[in-house]
Structure 1
Amino acid sequence: MKEKKSFFQRLLPLPFVSVVVAACWLMLGHSADLFDILVAIILGIGIPKIIEPFLVGTPHIKWRLALKLFFVVLWDIIISNIRVAKQVLGPIKNLHPQWFRVPLDSEHEHVNTLLAMIITTTPGTVSAGIDQERGDILVHALSTDNTDAEIIEIKRRYEQPLLEIFNVKQGEDA
């Protein structure tokens, strides 16, 4: 049986999204004229209604762990930027580019997609693609001497937390 929604829930199914959309419209327009405010309200009500059906399947995640992972990735991005700058500005002979495959512990779509995005976002590494049949991600590192250590680090720092965030057991499908 479907839960009956109040008038407010039907009008603003995603209140936070409504506020963000309306605020963005006003900021992009650099105006607080009556017309712009009315357009912002209409967009703030209309856009969340349009996208609501697409968000119904949003997975339940552990937000505290997700926030922790966010700061781990942010820190890694900062440190990797410094490391890559030193490598690129240093002698080319010190670069050891490598291709390697990171085996996936799950077939969970969100986990694997986010893992590939994190790998690509971190300077010095790029994920070239997820191979569902092989169950791995093809990764290129700008410079590494030990691909096994890189794989272990990627799995420990990113994949394991992602599995916990989405409450996925190893080997589990989406």
Structure 2
Amino acid sequence: MTAERLGFPQPWLSVALFVVWQFLADGVSGASVVMGIILAVIIPQITHRFWPDSPRMRKPWVMIRYLVVVIYDIIVASITVAILILNPRRPRPAFVSYPLTLDHPLAITMLASTISLTPGTVSADVSDDGELLLIHALDVDDNEELIRAIHQRYEKPLMEMFQ
């Protein structure tokens, strides 16, 4: 029997909601556990129509490597942005059109979120046809180098996981 047939259309969302609720509650009590269970069951039931079909994750172990790279990049980018702010040199901001090879909305969302999580870059827009991602970067020397770095570090592992 699948989790969806048991009334959990998004089982990982249910688990996450329950855990987050317990962290937000003022200590674990019977009432907070009951409320956490209610939220973990009801919210996915109400929102399941809005969720896109999840792509099959073909290589879930790649996610661990991906997360390590993202955390490393966030730390390095944080230091780089701090140095840039303290440096008298003016940054070279730019909008860069990134050509997407990903085609599933969830994978594109993960890429855009990763880019926005990294200090100094923000995903600004996705084209209507889903082929371009508009990125604003705080300091860019070479647009093509930024595109190559994003493709190698983020998009390629996402493609390996989902396609």
TM-score, reference length from structure 1: 0.73
Q: Which residue of 2 aligns with 1:171?
A: none
Task: Please tell me whether the aligned partners of residues 97 and 141 of structure 1 are also in contact (alpha carbons under 8 angstroms).
Answer: yes
1:108 aligns to 2:101 (yes or no): no
Q: Which of 53, 59, 63 matches 1:66?
A: 63
**Quick one: structure 1 residues 79 and 34, their matched pair in 2 at CA, closer, same or farther if it must change by over 3 Å?**
closer
Q: Which of 80, 89, 94 matches 1:83?
A: 80
For the aligned residue pairs, the C-alpha RMSD in angstroms reads: 3.0
Task: Please tell me whether the aligned partners of residues 102 and 108 of structure 2 are also in contact (alpha carbons under 8 angstroms).
Answer: yes
Moved more, 99-108 or 9-18: 9-18
- What are the superposed Cα offsets for residues 75-121 of structure 1, whole Å, 9 maximum, x if unpaired? 0000000000000111143x111111111113322222211111111
User: For 1:1-174, what aligned pairs fall within 5 Å after superposition?
Assistant: 5=1, 10=6, 21-44=17-40, 46-47=42-43, 57-61=53-57, 62-93=59-90, 95-133=91-129, 135-167=131-163
Task: Please tell me whether the aligned partners of residues 107 and 132 of structure 1 are also in contact (alpha carbons under 8 angstroms).
Answer: no
Once residues 19 and 112 of structure 2 are traced to their aligned partners in structure 1, the CA distance between those partners, rounded to angstroms, is: 31
Task: Please tell me whether the aligned partners of residues 56 and 162 of structure 2 are also in contact (alpha carbons under 8 angstroms).
Answer: yes
Query: Size of the alignment, in residue pairs?
Result: 160
- What are the superposed Cα offsets for residues 12-68 of structure 1, whole Å, 9 maximum, x if unpaired? 787766665455445433255544454445445555655667779332212210121
Once residues 101 and 53 of structure 2 are traced to their aligned partners in structure 1, the CA distance between those partners, rounded to angstroms, is: 23
Q: Alignment identity in percent?
A: 34
Higher Cα radius of gyration = 1
Task: Please tell me whether the aligned partners of residues 121 and 138 of structure 2 are also in contact (alpha carbons under 8 angstroms).
Answer: yes
- What are the superposed Cα offsets for residues 133-154 of structure 1, whole Å, 9 maximum, x if unpaired? 3711111111111111111111
Once residues 157 and 133 of structure 1 are traced to their aligned partners in structure 2, the CA distance between those partners, rounded to angstroms, is: 24
Structure 1 gap segments, 5+ residues each: 168-174
Residue type of the alignment partner of 2:101: D
Residue type of the alignment partner of 2:100: L
